[in-house]
């Protein structure tokens, strides 16, 4: 006979529910990844990054690796935000040392080539991985599903690759707003379907990654980042009232202030540029659950600078409404020993308090 613990016995869900906590739960963005030797071995076995994403056994294995090693409070599905454009029919490859390369969409006319009707066929292995991960996780560990927010996914679809100014997508935002709206709406619809299936398969929380939310001025930010995220959250909540949504509008700056009310997100991931006192006064003190925001490069550096920064975070967001995380993904060159040190600081410091 298996004992099923009530949801509230999971520290991560308790934090999202605003319950008091002696120490914050912790997980790290990109916690399954190249800094782990066991990840590099499984990835080599899979052949390529995409083969790993679409292999339910191996995707389950790499999702569980950081849970086994560190006992994080949450596991995040191993996949990528760019699987959705691929499922819609856009060509995608990950080139060694170069990152993602997509067959860029250049004109509005090309949008008809995207086929939302066929996404699940392609994404079924991802849902299968979710179910396997859920079955294998310790009872106290929460499973996070995820997708990219439409704006960030659109920046890759229109640019064809990563980069630092998102020029192509911004030119659509200013030169062809109707065309961009069409794409963002198509992506929001497909994202609702994608996350709905992840939740049905066992994801308990979902995170929307808006990595490039910080490159848009005010009006465009509202139109391209806030509105699609709001639409996704309201439709997911209509289907799954209990599911929690974390939004990560990286680089949103002062726009973080109204973001929760405008989108209906349950928690906000804050990036490492957001000043702590500002986040405390404008978000956390007003009841927002905050997740973040240690600079991944501080984790890479380790030592006393990292320890001091961790203490500042723990002191600033003490007692409730806080999930410890980085302010962006862990860097591949991060020593495993620094991650161990970080976890000891987060778990030890508050346990002793
Ligand atoms: O967090 C996790 O452990 C779960 C898996 C996950 C990956 N990507 C795996 C991955 C998640 C949540 C993502 C999200 C993602 N993917 C984002 C949003 C978050 C962020 O980092 O800003 C973005 C923008 C992408 C797109 C993407 N995927 C890029 C630009 C790259 C290349 C850069 C890089 O880090 O290599 C990837 C590749 C990628 N996604 C890797 C992993 C583990 C490395 C691939 C490899 O193993 O070679």
Give me 139's structure tokens: 């009872």
Which residue puts its alpha carbon closest to atom 9 of ligand 1? 80
Q: Please state the φ and ψ torsions of residue 142, each to the nearest 5 degrees.
A: -90, 145
pLDDT > 90: percent of the chain:
93
What's the CA gap between 276 and 293, in Å, rounded?
9
Which residue puts its alpha carbon closest to atom 1 of ligand 1? 30
**Global pTM value:** 0.96
pLDDT tens for 213-230 read 999 999 999 999 999 999
In the predicted structure, residue 254 carries a pLDDT above the cut 70: yes
Q: Note the residue count of the chain.
A: 353
Measured on CA atoms in the order 270, 273, 275, 276, is the torsion positive or negative? Answer: positive
Measured on CA atoms in the order 124, 29, 63, 130, is the torsion positive or negative? Answer: negative
In the predicted structure, residue 2 carries a pLDDT above the cut 80: no
pLDDT tens for 37-87 read 999 999 999 999 999 999 999 999 999 999 999 999 999 999 999 999 999
State the distance from the centre of ligand 1 to the C-alpha of 6, rounded, in angstroms.
32
26 DSSP assignment: B
Q: Are strands 99-102 and 205-210 parallel, antiparallel or unpaired?
A: unpaired
Adjacent-strand bridge partners of 289:
267
Does any ligand 1 atom lie closer than 6 A to the CB of residue 49?
A: yes
Measured on CA atoms in the order 277, 281, 284, 285, is the torsion positive or negative? Answer: positive
What's the CA gap between 295 and 74, in Å, rounded?
19
Which atom in ligand 1 lies closest to the alpha carbon of residue 32? 3
Q: Give strand ranges (E) for 99-177.
A: 99-102, 142-148
Q: H or E segment at 244?
A: strand 244-249
Residue 74 DSSP SS3: strand
Phi/psi zone of residue 44: left (φ > 0), alpha (ψ -120 to 50 degrees), beta?
alpha
Among all residues, which ones are annotated catalytic?
30, 34, 43, 80, 156
Query: Around Cβ 256, how many Cβ atoms within 10 Å?
Result: 23
Nearest to 257 by CA among 217, 284, 296: 284
Question: How is 85-112 classified by DSSP, letter by letter?
Answer: HHHTT--EEEETTTEEEE----SGGGGG
Least confident of 50-64, 93-107, 133-147, 310-324: 93-107
Q: Are strands 92-95 and 99-102 parallel, antiparallel or unpaired?
A: antiparallel
């Amino acid at each position: 006979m298996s004992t099923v613990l009530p949801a509230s016995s999971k520290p991560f869900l308790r934090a999202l529910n605003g319950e008091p906590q002696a120490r914050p739960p912790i997980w790290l963005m990109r916690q399954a990844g190249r800094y782990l030797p066991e990840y590099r071995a499984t990835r080599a076995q899979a052949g390529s990054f995409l083969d790993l994403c679409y292999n339910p056994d191996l995707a389950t294995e790499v999702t569980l690796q950081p849970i086994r090693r560190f006992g994080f409070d949450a596991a995040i599905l191993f996949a990528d935000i760019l699987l959705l454009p691929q499922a819609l029919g856009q060509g995608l490859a990950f080139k060694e040392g170069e990152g993602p390369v997509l067959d860029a969409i250049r004109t509005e006319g090309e949008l008809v080539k995207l086929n939302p009707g066929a996404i699940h066929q392609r994404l079924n292995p991802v849902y299968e991985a979710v179910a396997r991960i859920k079955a294998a996780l310790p009872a106290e560990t929460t499973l996070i599903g995820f997708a990219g927010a439409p704006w960030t996914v659109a920046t890759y679809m229109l640019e064809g690759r990563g980069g630092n100014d998102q020029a192509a997508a911004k030119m659509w935002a200013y030169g062809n707003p109707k065309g961009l709206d069409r794409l963002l709406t198509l992506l929001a619809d497909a994202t609702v379907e994608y996350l709905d299936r992840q939740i049905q398969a066992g994801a308990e929380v979902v995170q929307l990654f808006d990595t490039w939310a910080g490159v848009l001025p005010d009006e465009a930010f509202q139109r391209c980042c806030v509105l699609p995220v709001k639409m996704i959250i309201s439709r997911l909540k209509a289907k799954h009232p209990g599911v929690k949504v974390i939004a990560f509008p990286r680089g949103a700056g002062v726009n973080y202030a109204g973001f929760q009310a405008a989108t209906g997100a349950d928690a906000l991931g804050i990036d490492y540029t957001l000043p702590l006192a500002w986040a405390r006064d404008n978000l956390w003190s007003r009841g927002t659950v905050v997740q973040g925001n240690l600079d991944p490069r501080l984790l890479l550096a380790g030592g006393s600078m990292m320890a001091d920064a961790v203490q500042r975070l723990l002191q600033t967001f003490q007692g409730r409404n806080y999930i410890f995380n980085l302010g962006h993904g862990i860097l591949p060159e991060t020593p495993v020993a620094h991650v161990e040190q970080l976890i000891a600081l987060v778990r030890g410091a508050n346990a002793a308090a």
